[in-house]
Structure 1
């Protein structure tokens, strides 16, 4: 067996990840490493730092570009040894290790890979999509049921959310900046609360999550669902939201000037839909390559995840809608 201390020369890295002295830390949802080789035996040393077992990070092991993971690991505290595959014969195998949970739910650092053959990084895809969003983008609660009383990271999976499914459909590398409860001017607040919750807002998260090594062709944004818990029917709050959202899109366009920006809304609630439509129009009037996609309100007959979040069925239907829009905007063939 040969031990590889991981760096970007040994494996392909996609998504927000950090190369450290001891390996590669997967940060945001959907970040992954990928490699291939004539191998039959693969294992890894991975370390985690979850404070609570119910909120540990999860990773998925995907072999040979499978749509479903071969294994899903709950990453425990400390350094542990994880076995990926142990076959009797060597064959050309592609291995992808992807973080399924969000940045706030524990770190995942891959320190080394042991194989019985040499490995090389896979090639990046030509098409690239950046997804900016909240719990919907992160796949919050998608593995649970509406009747489940409490969210745990076991019920979250970014690969079952519509952005990931869309990237698969159009054969693009995805990059995610998402945070459950995140918003433009406020995180989610309860109905009895009047003050906005501003400790973690998406414009700040974007600044820490951007990376100019990844240049997206299109940037997909679905935000506002959590802001709506604060804006309600208050016109002044809606105007503040619109102004801040406009500034945010302008900032994104300044960082990625050649990318088309597609704003979406409507999946979980619709009160801010006309506001976001107007933001997209104003961005376009100001010369930003920006458009809007109205998403259909989810149907409870399709099932519901935890916290009345979209189900697997809803995410699949939404991915088909977003796929068609992206193919139209980018003039791509499926």
Structure 2
């Protein structure tokens, strides 16, 4: 057995946004991790995790099949990925973060320090496409794990594995990245908090995190967009913005700031507030395009109902007229039903699988064109 720091491994693929540092390598976002082709009979990884409330979970893949999923302890230690396998055969190994970035827990972090193996590392085949997924709890895979009656908001019920993002990327033979946060939207969170919107943190590595440890790991640095340019950017936002219209006013007790997306007495959306939502969509599309000049941008929506769909269409039509950008489209995802729902009233495995089947077909057409 020989031990390697990650920066000593030439044939190593990093998945997910990072600040460019490999020793150690922080895994900030859902689905972030490392990939290796390695021979040998045994392989271990050295991880370090911390948290106060929301522990990280790690997924282990061998030859494209998930073989393990585990909660991590608050310590630095070694985890066995495989042992006793045919030493001559080359195995594709992928180690991924199963849980979203935990903005509500400044102490939550996960890093990989080293690899220990008796084998050798082999060249990884480059995939033909890259996809960036942006979203909320659906894209974080909240509710994919667990029985339907589970309602606790805990890390255990999240999954990056049985997630439409991973399934779609695999179907298209694409590398992918995910930026997602439960309850957040394009303008406000589900409870009207304007500080909890994905677009304002898009230019950072993982700017929605908090805490000194995440600052040291580079979460708040500017993201290097030139280092990883996606062919497709898939945005799945709007579900929480729609919920905000049904929730009480948000108020910051410290500053007195307040915000509310309003409904009219007849149950329709307040025109001024809906215009604010549409302008937020347009503004985010402009930001995405500025950083990804050649990407196809697809706004997807629908796994938990479609009340905001007409306004998403209107916003994107307005964006295309204003900018002349024709590389933007909308795709409606299949709704979750009683048979496909998971825990916490979120889409379950079957819902994610169905969404991925339909979305991958549409994206394949875009890539073909």
Distance in 1 between residues matched to 2:11 and 2:111, nearest whole Å: 15
Alignment gaps of 5+ in structure 1: 190-195
1:1-334 map, 5 Å:
1-7=1-7, 9=10, 11-20=12-21, 22-52=23-53, 55-66=54-65, 69-87=66-84, 89-90=86-87, 91-104=89-102, 106-120=108-122, 122-189=124-191, 196-209=192-205, 210-212=223-225, 213-232=227-246, 233-285=269-321, 286-288=323-325, 289-300=327-338, 302-331=339-368
Higher percent of residues as strand: 1
Q: Is the 8 A contact 2:6 2:22 kept in 1?
A: no
Mean Cα deviation higher: 94-103 or 198-207: 198-207
TM-score w.r.t. structure 1 length? 0.91
Q: Is the 8 A contact 2:28 2:101 kept in 1?
A: yes
Q: Is the 8 A contact 1:187 1:226 kept in 2?
A: yes
Distance in 2 between residues matched to 1:291 and 1:269, nearest whole Å: 19
Distance in 1 between residues matched to 2:4 and 2:122, nearest whole Å: 11
**Which secondary structure state, in structure 1, belongs to the residue aligned with residue 303 of structure 2?**
coil
Distance in 2 between residues matched to 1:170 and 1:21, nearest whole Å: 28
Q: Is the 8 A contact 2:40 2:85 kept in 1?
A: no
Alignment gaps of 5+ in structure 2: 206-222, 247-268
Distance in 2 between residues matched to 1:165 and 1:98, nearest whole Å: 14
Root mean square deviation, CA, Å: 1.8
Note the C-alpha offset of 1:127: 0.6
Q: Is the 8 A contact 1:151 1:306 kept in 2?
A: no
Distance in 2 between residues matched to 1:22 and 1:260, nearest whole Å: 33
Distance in 2 between residues matched to 1:154 and 1:306, nearest whole Å: 11
Q: How many residues end up aligned between the 2 structures?
A: 321
